[in-house]
A = this chain, B = another copy of it.
């Protein structure tokens, strides 16, 4: 049982991890050494105190060298879901499980909006995890919605199981070449189905499907951790970065605007201090 699981390696996750290390917590940190797609893409950051006029990659490199200098490890594993076990949390990474007394969610915010009926049919034919649920669709017809090419390995895996795949990507230059995959560029306007997913509408075309996989870098908060209170796509937190679930904190873009590096760094720090208070039993709630 770890003291803390940190989910996400953008500036909020970095800030939380640096303070967790400084306070000698026994923690796991899930993310990527590219830190976050948004950091990498930033052209010029003028207003982050301490790093004058940096590009996103310069900021990333500064953060990475600080992390490496302290010997902090980023686990490059994708957390598919987290469960509130009543007193602790369990994070699922494909077939592996990690338990933590507390969680900091620093998962960023997705540019892609939820598809109508997506959350209603989640777990009823709609899935976010190829590894977890792919086997259920062996020999069946499925749809896959993908917003980032980093998921193509998962699409290959699904295409190896399903009889037919209708693939909707929000980017061009898709690398999938398989006879049983039909690819369109576009974002679905609806997932069909009454009590179970039955199909999808994309680009005006209606396609039948027994399963719909939505593969995106950021899972919506409530889908990641059932029971988590969210509003307008953002996790609800108070000034101490506490969510509605005791021991679960959130920081950075996932808690709302402004989407700023400094704000994320500040919230990651506050979340970690709230974790300390929670572990010490001095959380006032």
What 1/0 mask marks residues of chain A from 46 to 62 whose CB sits below 8 Å from any chain B CB?
A: 11111111000001001
Distance between Cα atoms of A265 and B47 in the complex (Å): 10
**Copies of this chain, tallied across the complex:** 2
Check A131 for interface membership: any CB of B closer than 8 A.
no
Distance between Cα atoms of A69 and B53 in the complex (Å): 10
B contact residues around A268 at 8 Å (CB): 262
The answer to whether A269 and B258 touch across the interface, beta carbons within 8 angstroms, is yes
Check A19 for interface membership: any CB of B closer than 8 A.
yes
B contact residues around A18 at 8 Å (CB): 46-49
Given contacts A18-B49, A46-B22, A265-B49, contact A257 B273 (CB under 8 A): yes
Distance between Cα atoms of A268 and B69 in the complex (Å): 28
Size category of the A interface is 35 or more
Check A186 for interface membership: any CB of B closer than 8 A.
no
The answer to whether A11 and B49 touch across the interface, beta carbons within 8 angstroms, is yes
Chain A, 213-248, CB within 8 A of any chain B CB: 237-239
The answer to whether A264 and B266 touch across the interface, beta carbons within 8 angstroms, is yes
Check A187 for interface membership: any CB of B closer than 8 A.
no
The answer to whether A15 and B262 touch across the interface, beta carbons within 8 angstroms, is yes
Check A150 for interface membership: any CB of B closer than 8 A.
no
Report which residue of A62, A237, A263, A264 has the largest number of chain B beta carbons within 10 angstroms of its beta carbon.
A263
Check A105 for interface membership: any CB of B closer than 8 A.
no
Given contacts A22-B47, A239-B256, A265-B266, 9 further A-B contacts (CB under 8 A): A22-B46, A48-B50, A49-B66, A50-B51, A50-B66, A237-B239, A238-B239, A257-B273, A260-B270
25 contacts between A and B (CB under 8 A): A11-B49, A15-B47, A15-B49, A18-B47, A19-B260, A21-B46, A21-B47, A46-B70, A47-B269, A48-B50, A49-B265, A50-B63, A52-B66, A52-B69, A52-B70, A53-B69, A238-B239, A260-B273, A262-B266, A262-B268, A263-B269, A263-B270, A263-B273, A265-B266, A266-B266
